[in-house]
Amino acid sequence: MPRIPDAHPDEVTDPELAERLRSQIAQHGHAVGSTGLLARRPSVARAWSGLFAGLAESGLLKRPLRHLVNRRVAMTVGCPY
C-alpha cells in the first residue's frame, strides 16, 4: 500500500496532468504507475515524462526492445506490468 495516496484529478493544478489522470482512471479504474503520486508535483511529473519521452525519441532502443526492457525492469522491482 502506498504511503502517499494518489492525487485526485480535481486536486491537480496542471490541466493536462489532471486530464491524463482522468483518462487513466476512466480506462483502468486507477492512475497508472506513479502518475497519481507524481501529479502532486506537476513540475516533477513533467520532468519525469520528458525524460521518458527523450529516451523514446532518441532512437537508441527500438520500440520492441523498449517494451521488453520496461517489462524486465517492472519484474525486477516487483511492479505488476
Residue-by-residue pLDDT tens, the chain, 81 positions: 558 889 999 999 999 999 999 999 999 998 988 899 999 999 999 998 888 888 788 888 888 888 888 888 878 877 765
Q: How far apart are CA 62 and CA 27, in angstroms?
A: 27
What local confidence, expressed as pLDDT, does residue 81 receive?
A: 56
What local confidence, expressed as pLDDT, does residue 1 receive?
A: 55
Q: Domain of 59?
A: 9-77
The answer as to whether 2 is a domain residue is no
Q: How far apart are CA 46 and CA 14, in angstroms?
A: 10
For residues 53 and 60, is the Cβ–Cβ distance under 8 A? no
The overall longest dimension of the chain from CA atoms, in Å, is 37
The answer as to whether 68 is a domain residue is yes
The answer as to whether 3 is a domain residue is no
What local confidence, expressed as pLDDT, does residue 20 receive?
A: 92
- How many domains would you assign to the chain? 1
